[in-house]
Structure 1
Amino acid sequence: MLRDSTRSRLFLAVLIVAAVALMVLDSRAGSNPVTSVARGGGELVFTPASTAVGLAAGPAATLYEGVSQGPKSAARIAELEAANAELESDLQAARLDDGRADQLDELLHLSGLGGYEIVPAQAVTRTTAQGYGHTVTIDAGTDSGIRPDMTVVSGSGLVGRVIEAGPRLATVKLATDVNSTVGARLEKTSKIGAISGGSVPGGPEADLTLELFDMEAPIDEGDRVVTLGSHDGAPFVPGVPIGTVDEVHVAPGALSRIARITPAVDFASLDMVGVVVSGPAEDPRDSVLPPKPDPKGDQ
């Protein structure tokens, strides 16, 4: 570091004079040995200083370039992020469309097996708040021929029944609602009973509970249950899969046998459903149930 002194000022003056002399000499053409030597000496003296200045100025120039291009870069980044978000949205929509297409295929397959005429709809909202029960709103109503007391199914089985219908929307009470009761029949023995939403007094915790009216009726885990069917198919058409026996329970003094049922439908992820606007010409019995897995199939 140079200090402000007579020596430093003298040194600075010498440098200035030398620089001026070099500029004069450098402006002259030719290869005069004197001027060549002077130029070489000047380069030896001033090149380190110019290099240091260049190194110091480099980051500042880069910073200036970055700042001057900053708005353009930010705009480009925002543009790319928006395009990426749009692509992700399109991909998600495509996945949803593919999923709904698969659900619709399953729904049409079930309706074909049972001989049910259905109106497809989408479950758009769901209510499980206390006092409102388990219900969903679907995006189809009286304009599509839907009215109260019609059976609602998915590609897997029973969803519930319509309790209210407007021109373009309808409300469906789910089979899991505590105030829901469905006549049911065991696949294996054809013994009948009633499926209730939730648990019943004396029974285990459940989403669906079966009460068999015959205390002596055989019932085992894995037995499947379908809808018994109502008069004129309202509110329930016959033969719709309800679920599978998960646990059998006999309460002391009970007048019926109680079983916990695993629903055929995943009520936590309802999407595409079908409203049965016309029931089958005859009871499909167990033909709507999927084939039972072969216990030897994995061997």
Structure 2
Amino acid sequence: MKRFDSGRRPGRDSPGRVLALLVLASVTVMTLDAKAGDASPVDGLRSAVGNVVGPVETAADGVARPFTSVKAFFRTNDSLRADVSRLEADNARLRSARATDPLDRKRLAALDGLTRTVAETGYSLVAARVVAMGPLQSFSRTVTIDAGTSAGVRKDMTVLNNDGLVGRVVRATRSTATVLLVVDRDSVVGGRLGSNLEIGFLRGRGSVGDGGRLELDLVDNAVMPAKDDVVVTWGSENGVPYVAGIPIGTVTSVVSSPRQSSRRAVIKPFVNFSALDVVGVVVPKGTRGDRPVVAAGGVR
């Protein structure tokens, strides 16, 4: 007698039945958990699963974080480098500004002095800076300024600063000019004593340092210059090469020559020729050029 065979093998259920049982079990657990509230019978199981899975998740996050943070690290590092570069540049600018601040103040004071000179004398000036000094090998005391014919500067124009007479222009290009200093041995300037208006001629001794001096030969040998008397320019025809009334220096001593029956006064210049910077060139009124002219009534 044959055994009845339903066509199913023992131990194997259809996939649909297994899925249905799993869904039924899930619904049952969810219903019990919702009805029980805080006393849910699955709390213990949930806690157990959390205790097992939680450390695994933390460990996995710890392993993955260095890799996920690489991009953010480089982005932050680049930003910090940019900030450091910007701060270094700002500090460099501040150090430079601090270092040049005394020079800027001195130049501003020099320009203010030129403005006062204009107000006192009525002359028009082109402001310029000394950019070079002639070599000692040339045996000539000259400086180069950064103003030339394009600014209205020409040969045989008077050059001064806020202390007094500097010299005269001996040649000019479009953008620069060469100035022969009054302390040069070849320089001759007509001077006048402030106390008695006596006139004479000043010649340089060739030194530009603190010991730089001029010698004044008076036209009238009978006149005795007084110590500390001020000497100013007495001027030339049409103000060329020297305009009148510019301070030159003071009398420090008088040397007499019995053989020639003459007296020669030693003059200490007001200008410090070894520290020349801002100067002014006296130009005719109405001069127009590529830089402002300081004149009575303001800058034009």
- In the superposition, the TM-score normalised over structure 2's length comes to 0.62
> Is residue 98 of structure 2 the alignment partner of residue 91 of structure 1?
yes
- For 2:247, the equivalent position in structure 1 comes to 241
Quick check: 2:205–2:213 contact (8 Å CA) kept in 1? yes
Distance 1:152 1:272, change over 3 A: same
The whole-number CA distance in structure 2 between the counterparts of 1:151 and 1:273 is 10
- For 1:208, the equivalent position in structure 2 comes to 214
> Is residue 132 of structure 2 the alignment partner of residue 125 of structure 1?
yes
The whole-number CA distance in structure 1 between the counterparts of 2:170 and 2:123 is 19
Question: Which digits, 9 at most, give the CA deviation of each residue in 1:36-77, with x for residues without a partner?
Answer: xxxxxxxxxxxxxxxxxxxxxxxxxxxxxxxxxxxxxxxx99
- For 1:109, the equivalent position in structure 2 comes to 116
> Is residue 269 of structure 2 the alignment partner of residue 263 of structure 1?
yes
Runs of 4+ off more than 6 Å = 76-82
User: Structure 2 unaligned runs (5+)?
Assistant: 1-82, 286-300
Amino acid at match of 1:166: T
SS in 1 for 2:150: helix
After TM superposition, give the deviation of residue 107 of structure 1 in Å.
Answer: 0.9
After TM superposition, give the deviation of residue 162 of structure 1 in Å.
Answer: 0.2
Amino acid at match of 2:164: G
User: Structure 1 unaligned runs (5+)?
Assistant: 1-75, 200-204, 280-299
Distance 1:98 1:147, change over 3 A: same
- For 1:192, the equivalent position in structure 2 comes to 199
Query: May I ask how many residue pairs the two structures share in their alignment?
Result: 204
Distance 1:128 1:221, change over 3 A: farther
Percent identity reads 44
- For 1:52, the equivalent position in structure 2 comes to none
The whole-number CA distance in structure 2 between the counterparts of 1:206 and 1:123 is 19
The whole-number CA distance in structure 2 between the counterparts of 1:77 and 1:252 is 77
SS in 1 for 2:257: coil
Quick check: 1:214–1:257 contact (8 Å CA) kept in 2? no
| RMSD over equivalenced CA pairs, Å | 2.6
After TM superposition, give the deviation of residue 254 of structure 1 in Å.
Answer: 2.7
SS in 2 for 1:268: helix
- In the superposition, the TM-score normalised over structure 1's length comes to 0.62
Question: Which digits, 9 at most, give the CA deviation of each residue in 1:207-234, with x for residues without a partner?
Answer: 2111112121131110000001001100
Question: Which digits, 9 at most, give the CA deviation of each residue in 1:253-295, with x for residues without a partner?
Answer: 235311111101111111100000027xxxxxxxxxxxxxxxx
Distance 1:231 1:218, change over 3 A: same
The whole-number CA distance in structure 1 between the counterparts of 2:91 and 2:222 is 64
